[in-house]
Structure 1
Amino acid sequence: MTNSFINQWKFFYPNKLPISHCFRQYFSQFWFRIHSLPESKRYADTPAEYELLLNRHNQIIDDCFDSNASIFIVTGHYFSQSDNNKIYDPTLRLKYEFHPEKEINLTQANPENYDDDEEDHFYRPYSINEIWKKNEHNDLLKKIADDEVRAFMISFEQNIIIAPYDGGIDFIIFNDAKRNELINKYKDWLSPRADGL
């Protein structure tokens, strides 16, 4: 399985955890964020707002990946030896047939975050190789926007990571020209804050 998600991740991003909330810290010089709704509104409340949110997400993701790009969709499950509650397993909430990856011992990877805990904490990534097609992943995008699940998309061929969250999308684009082109094209969707959040 040389082309498996985890093997490619380790090759492209050694010593980095495949956990989306870490990406802005890991890749800050290649990062930018758009907001899902005008005026940085976090959650959609009406059908019209959901339509706008999904249109925005599909439009910019399609500009990043191009239609028919091979991508991995990656989600994950946090657990410890004493607490492995399957209710929070995101694979139970999504229609994809995810491949479970080897669990990551977070206590060993980031001991400074767990120095007071008596037991180890883990994260198990789940991945699936899919083809990006506009509007075919709307259920995933909506569930992320509603904070029901967390997941990110990655194209190793294009070296692009897209991490939607409840409120917008974080982009990690290593090609400066492509990143700057997207920032310019979607400048009205960027945060007005100096830190880009």
Structure 2
Amino acid sequence: MDTTGIVDPREFWLDWDKHHKGRQPLGYVLRQDGSLPWVRFHALPASKRYAETEQESGIILSRGNTLASAMLEPSQKCWIISSRCDGEAGLGVPAGGWTEDESDPESLVWKFFIRDEAWANGKFDDALKDLANDAGPYVTWFEPEKGRIYAPYDGGFDLFPASLEEAQALKVRFSDWLSDREDGL
């Protein structure tokens, strides 16, 4: 992985394809795939979707940083994928795109932008706040060594660990943050 600040999208796609060939780097698409280990954690107690107070914002950041650190291991290099479907530029180097339904001219067209950067607790709080408020681009963190993915969204955090055993361990460790629904949503 390039640590000089100049990123080659081909390097990202080579890393991505080692673990997720044929899949798109979007949390909701990965979740719908159904073949990956996956667990969802809610950002706030009682499955509340959006923060209304500073205290609730603090809970979201605390949970978000804790879960990301459990998945990405602090200071470990990872790819950060910024995804947009609104025509705006994302954060990082352009790295291709994807159309949800090629046969539908009204279908969403996603553009991907990448950068590589070490995860650090608190370093990405602004991005986590934006995601919690459904603002800005979708941001997904991808750890290339084992293929783990951390995909926050407005309302929670989708985690794609390297194995079903890791997913189960996360469920046990953070059981208070899980959904009560049978499907995990």
TM-score, with structure 2 as normaliser: 0.86
Question: How far apart are residue 132 of structure 1 and its match?
Answer: 0.3
Within a 5 Å distance, the mapping from 1:39-78 to structure 2 comes to: 39-78=46-85
Q: Which runs of 4+ in 1 moved over 6 A?
A: none
Q: C-alpha distance in 1, partners of 2:47/2:150?
A: 19
The number of residues matched between the two structures is 177
Q: C-alpha distance in 2, partners of 1:40/1:28?
A: 25
Of residues 2, 12, 15 in structure 2, which corresponds to 1:5?
12
Give unmatched runs, 5+ long, in structure 1.
79-84
Q: What is the root-mean-square deviation in Å for CA atoms of aligned residues?
A: 2.1
1:33 aligned onto 2:21: no
TM-score, with structure 1 as normaliser: 0.81
Of residues 163, 167, 173 in structure 2, which corresponds to 1:185?
173
Within a 5 Å distance, the mapping from 1:86-165 to structure 2 comes to: 86=87, 89=88, 91=90, 96=91, 98-108=92-102, 111=103, 114=104, 117=105, 122-149=109-136, 150-165=138-153
The letter for the 1-side match of 2:133 is D
In the other structure, the counterpart of 1:20 is 27
Give unmatched runs, 5+ long, in structure 2.
1-7
Q: Which is richer in helix?
A: 1
Q: Work out whether residues 95 and 113 of structure 2, in 8 Å CA contact, stay in contact via their aligned partners in 1.
A: yes
Q: Work out whether residues 76 and 90 of structure 1, in 8 Å CA contact, stay in contact via their aligned partners in 2.
A: no
**SS class of match (2:50):** coil
Aligned-residue sequence identity (percent) comes to 28
**SS class of match (1:157):** coil
